[in-house]
């Protein structure tokens, strides 16, 4: 072990795209699928649900409670429970991760809509906006920075959490950690960590860029989580 270098580049080049299911590029692809799909699904669900919570405030309390409980559950716990339902498929990772992203995104949507100043809402109404049009043209655009800030948190967490799925056989790049552990071999572990962090930084950067383009009038509000 003593002479083992931290990284063997020849291993990386040999395993990057060797056609096997454990090739790094293949793992990267499945990792991205399992990380991004939950964010997308989460947004699709969180937007209408968040809107409903704002429209009918009585919904928010139970939703927030559920969200808090979900957020508290360790990822491995949810993966294990879904293992018995969805078996050894990417869905076993994607479905629980969707719950996690929801736990971040629903509050973000609700906070975002709450961040619309009352005078803005009222002046829109006074100018004759009907509720739907006001929502689409005034409230949602103003809420975008907060929702995107939540999306950034959800995306980065999702990318990192997928790797835990390796423990149940569906972990994308996380499989490199298992491989490295079993063979007492640093290289795959380091490659896995670096790729995951790089992926997270890139995705985060793209979202920041998206926000600059979408809302040139504002900067991201900081998130507390």
Residues within the interface to another protein (CB under 8 A)? 68-69, 71-78, 80-81, 83-84, 153, 156-157, 159-160, 163-164, 166-168, 171, 173-174, 176-177, 180-181, 184, 186, 189-190, 192-193, 196-197, 200-201, 204, 222, 224-225
Residues 5-43, buried b or exposed e (16+ Cβ, 10 A)? eeebeeeeeebeeeeeeeebebbbebbbebbbbbbebbb
Of 48 and 117, CB closest to another protein: 117
CA-based nearest residue to 148, from 98, 204, 191: 204
Of 101 and 135, CB closest to another protein: 101
Of 73 and 144, CB closest to another protein: 73
Shortest distance in whole angstroms from residue 91 CB to another protein: 17
Shortest distance in whole angstroms from residue 173 CB to another protein: 8
Contact 141, 189 (CB under 8 A): no
Of 138 and 196, CB closest to another protein: 196
Shortest distance in whole angstroms from residue 185 CB to another protein: 9
Rounded to the nearest 10 degrees, how much is the dihedral formed by the CA atoms of 66, 75, 83, 108? Answer: 40
Shortest distance in whole angstroms from residue 95 CB to another protein: 15
Shortest distance in whole angstroms from residue 145 CB to another protein: 17
Burial of 223 per CB tally in 10 Å (0-12, 13-18, 19+): middle
- Please state, in angstroms and rounded to a whole number, the distance separating the CA atoms of residues 157 and 176: 19
Shortest distance in whole angstroms from residue 75 CB to another protein: 7
Q: Is 86 helix (H, G, I), strand (E, B) or coil?
A: helix
Of 40 and 69, CB closest to another protein: 69
- Please state, in angstroms and rounded to a whole number, the distance separating the CA atoms of residues 139 and 115: 9
Sign of torsion, CA 65 68 72 74? positive
Of 39 and 138, CB closest to another protein: 39
Paired tokens of 138: 């005034």
């Amino acid at each position: 072990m003593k002479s083992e270098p931290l990284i063997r580049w020849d291993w990386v080049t040999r395993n990057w795209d060797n056609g096997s299911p454990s090739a790094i590029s293949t793992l990267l692809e499945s990792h991205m699928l399992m990380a991004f799909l939950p964010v997308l699904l989460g947004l699709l669900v969180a937007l209408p649900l968040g809107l409903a919570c704002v429209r009918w405030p009585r919904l928010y309390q139970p939703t927030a409670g559920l969200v808090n409980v979900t957020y508290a559950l360790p990822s491995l716990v949810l993966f294990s429970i879904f293992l018995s339902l969805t078996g050894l498929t990417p869905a076993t990772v994607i479905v629980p991760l969707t719950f996690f992203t929801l736990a971040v995104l629903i509050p973000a949507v609700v906070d975002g809509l709450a961040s619309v100043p009352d005078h803005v809402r009222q002046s829109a109404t006074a100018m004759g906006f009907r509720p739907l049009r006001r929502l689409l043209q005034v409230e949602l655009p103003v809420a975008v920075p907060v929702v995107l800030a939540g999306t950034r948190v959800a995306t980065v967490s999702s990318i990192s959490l997928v790797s835990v799925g390796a423990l149940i056989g569906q972990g994308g790049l996380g499989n490199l950690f298992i491989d490295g552990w079993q063979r007492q071999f640093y290289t795959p572990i380091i490659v896995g960590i670096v790729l995951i962090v790089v992926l997270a930084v890139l995705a985060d950067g793209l979202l920041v860029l998206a926000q600059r383009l979408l809302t040139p009038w504002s900067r991201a509000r900081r998130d507390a989580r």
